[in-house]
Amino acid sequence: MRAAAALVIAALAGGCFQPLYGEQSPTGGPVLRDQLSAVDVLQIGAPKGTDEARIAVEIRNVLLYDFTGGGYAAPPTHRLKIAISSTRASIIVDVNTSRPDVENYGLNANYTLTEIATGKIVVTGTTFARVSYDIPGQEQRYARVRGLRDAELRAAKVVADNIRLRLSSYFIAGT
Is 61 a member of any domain? yes
Per-residue pLDDT tens over the stretch 49-59: 888 999 999 99
Is 73 a member of any domain? yes
Q: Average model confidence (pLDDT) for the chain?
A: 86
Q: Which amino acid is at 67?
A: F
3-state percent breakdown (helix, strand, coil) of the chain, nearest 5: 40, 30, 30
Is 80 a member of any domain? yes
Is 106 a member of any domain? yes
Is 63 a member of any domain? yes
Is 4 a member of any domain? no
Burial of 74: CB neighbours in 10 Å, binned 0-12, 13-18, 19+? middle
What pLDDT, on the 0 to 100 scale, is given for residue 28? 55
Please state the domain count of the chain.
Answer: 1
Is 18 a member of any domain? no
Q: Residue 97: pLDDT above 80?
A: no
Burial of 119: CB neighbours in 10 Å, binned 0-12, 13-18, 19+? exposed
Mean per-residue pLDDT, 119-144:
86
Q: Could you tell me the CATH number of the domain that includes residue 108?
A: 3.30.160.150
pLDDT tier at 172 (50, 70, 90 boundaries)? confident
pLDDT tier at 30 (50, 70, 90 boundaries)? low
What pLDDT, on the 0 to 100 scale, is given for residue 16? 58
Q: How many whole angstroms separate alpha carbon 109 and alpha carbon 84?
A: 4
Greater confidence (46 vs 92) lies with 46
Q: Residue 70: pLDDT above 90?
A: no
Is 70 a member of any domain? yes
Structural domain boundaries enclosing 81: 55-175
Q: How many whole angstroms separate alpha carbon 20 and alpha carbon 68?
A: 15
Greater confidence (103 vs 98) lies with 103
What pLDDT, on the 0 to 100 scale, is given for residue 175? 76
Q: Are 133 and 150 spatial neighbours (Cβ–Cβ below 8 Å)?
A: yes
Highest mean pLDDT among 116-120, 134-138, 142-146: 116-120
